[in-house]
Amino acid sequence: MVIMNKIHITCIFALLFAIILNILPLPSIIDSCRPPILLLFLIYCTLAYPDDINLTYAFISGLILDILLIMPLGYNALCFTVTVYLIMIYYPQIRLQSNWNKMFSIFLILIPFFLSSTLMNSILKIDYNIVDVIISIILSVIIWPGLFNMLRFIRQKYT
Amino acid sequence: MYSDRQLKLGTGVRNNFSHIIQPIYIIAESPLRLYKNTSLYIDTKKSIIKENNSLKKKVLVQSGIIQQIPPLKAENKRLKKLLSSSSSIDTSKILIAELIKVNLSPFSNKVIINKGSSNNLFLGQSVVDSFGVLGVISEINKNFSVATLITDPGHAILAVNARTNKRIVLSGTGDNRKLKAEYISLNEDIKEGDILITSGLDNIFPGGYNIGEISVIKKKLNQDFLSVEVSPSSALSSNREVMLLW
- Which pLDDT score, from 0 to 100, does residue B51 have? 86
Q: pLDDT tens digit string along B173-220?
A: 877 788 888 888 888 888 888 889 988 887 888 888 889 899 988 887
What is the average per-residue pLDDT within B145-150? 88
Q: Does B15 touch chain A (CB under 8 A)?
A: no
Look at A127 and B173 and tell me if their CB atoms are within 8 Å: yes
What's the Cα-to-Cα distance from A154 to each of A7, A48, A95, A136, rounded to whole Å? Answer: 11, 12, 18, 25
Most confident among A14-23, B101-110, B201-210 (mean pLDDT): A14-23
Backbone angles phi, psi at B204, to 5 degrees: -115, -60
pLDDT average, residue stretch B22-48: 82
In contact, B181 and B230? CB cutoff 8 Å: yes
Backbone angles phi, psi at B13, to 5 degrees: -65, -45
CA angle B231, B138, B134 (to 5 degrees): 25
**For the residues of A12-76, what is the DSSP string, one character each?**
HHHHHHHHHHHH----HHHHTT---HHHHHHHHHHHH-TTTS-HHHHHHHHHHHHHHHT--TTHH
Query: pLDDT-based confidence at B13, cuts 50/70/90?
Result: confident
Q: Span B25-29, mean pLDDT?
A: 85
Interchain contact B155–A (C-beta under 8 A):
no
Report whether pLDDT(B87) > 80: no
3-class secondary structure per residue, chain B: CHHHHHHCHHHHHHHHCHHHHHHHHHHHHHHHHHHHHHHHHHCCHHHHHHHHHHHHHHHHHHHHHHHCHHHHHHHHHHHHHHHCCCCCCCCCCEEEEEEECCCCCCCCCEEEECCCHHHCCCCCCEEECCCCEEEEEEEECCCCEEEEECCCCCCEEEEEECCCCCEEEEEECCCCCCEEEECCECCCCCCCCCEEEECCCCCCCCCCCEEEEEEEEECCCCCCECEEEEEECCCCCCCCEEEEEC
Is pLDDT above 80 for A144? Answer: yes
Cβ distance A67 to B102 less than 8 Å, yes or no, reads no
User: What distance in Å separates residue A50's CA from the closest CA in chain B?
Assistant: 28
Does the pLDDT of residue B91 top 80, yes or no? no
- A55 conformational bin, left if phi > 0, alpha if psi -120 to 50, beta if neither: alpha
Domain count, chain A: 1
As a whole number, the mean pLDDT across chain A is 86
The answer, for B5 touching chain A at a CB cutoff of 8 Å, is: yes
Residue of B nearest to A31 (CA): B106
Q: What percent of chain A stands above pLDDT 70?
A: 96
Cβ of residue B49 closer than 8 Å to a chain A Cβ: no
Of residues B236 and B208, which shows the higher confidence score?
Answer: B208
Calpha distance B119→B238 (Å, rounded): 24
Would you call A25 and B102 a contact, using CB atoms and an 8 Å cutoff? yes
Q: pLDDT band at residue A23, thresholds of 50, 70 and 90?
A: confident
Q: Is A17 exposed, middle or buried (0-12, 13-18, 19+ CB in 10 A)?
A: middle
pLDDT band for position A18 (50/70/90)?
very high
Residue B107 has pLDDT above 70, yes or no: no
How much is the average pLDDT of B102-109? 69
Establish if B101 touches chain A: CB-CB under 8 angstroms.
yes
Calculate how close chain B gets to A83, using CA atoms only, in Å: 18
Q: Is A124 helix (H, G, I), strand (E, B) or coil?
A: coil
Position B84 pLDDT exceeds 70: no
Beta bridge partners of residue B179, listed in sequence order: B172, B230
Amino acid in the structure at residue B55:
L
From chain A, the residues in CB contact with B1 under 8 A are 72-75, 78, 120, 124
Query: Do residues B18 and B116 lie in contact, with contact meaning Cβ atoms separated by under 8 Å?
Result: yes
Q: Do B108 and A69 touch (CB under 8 A)?
A: yes
Q: What angle do CA A90, A91, A96 make, to 5 degrees?
A: 110
Query: Is the pLDDT assigned to residue B89 strictly greater than 60?
Result: no
CB contact under 8 A, B104 and A69: yes
pLDDT value, residue A44: 92
Our measurement of the distance from residue B75's CA atom to the centroid of its chain's CA atoms, rounded to an integer in Å, reads 28
Please state the φ and ψ torsions of residue B37, each to the nearest 5 degrees. -65, -40
The whole-number average pLDDT for the span A138-159 is: 88
Shortest CA distance from B12: residue in chain A: A67
Q: What is the pLDDT of residue A85?
A: 92
Predicted confidence at residue A142, as pLDDT, reads 92
- For B165: left if phi > 0, alpha if psi spans -120 to 50, otherwise beta; the answer is left
> Residue-wise over B22-41: b if at least 16 C-beta within 10 A, else e?
bebbebbbeeeeeeeeeeee
Whether B105 has a pLDDT exceeding 70, the answer reads: no
- Residue B169: which of B224, B228, B209 has the closest Cα? B228
CB contact under 8 A, A22 and B110: no
Q: Looking at the complex, does the CB of residue B173 fall below 8 Å from at least one CB of chain A? A: yes
Report yes or no: A86 and A106 within 8 Å, Cβ to Cβ: no
Residue A12 phi/psi, 5° resolution?
-65, -40
Lowest mean pLDDT of A85-89, B42-46, B88-92, name the range.
B88-92
B108 touches chain A (CB under 8 A): yes
State the amino acid at position B36 in one-letter form.
K
Minimum-distance CB partner of A25 among B14, B29, B175: B29
pLDDT of residue B200: 82
Residue A1 in this model has a pLDDT that exceeds 70: no
Who has greater pLDDT, B8 or A22?
A22
List CB contacts (< 8 A) between A69 and chain B: 104-105, 108
Mean pLDDT of A75-95: 89
Residue A64's domain comprises 2-158
pTM of the model: 0.78
Residues of chain A contacting B, Cβ within 8 Å: 19-20, 22-26, 28, 31-32, 34, 66-75, 78, 120-121, 124-128, 132
Higher-pLDDT residue of A124, B125: B125
Chain B residues whose CB is inside 8 A of the A126 CB are 105, 107-108, 153, 174
Q: Does B143 touch chain A (CB under 8 A)?
A: no
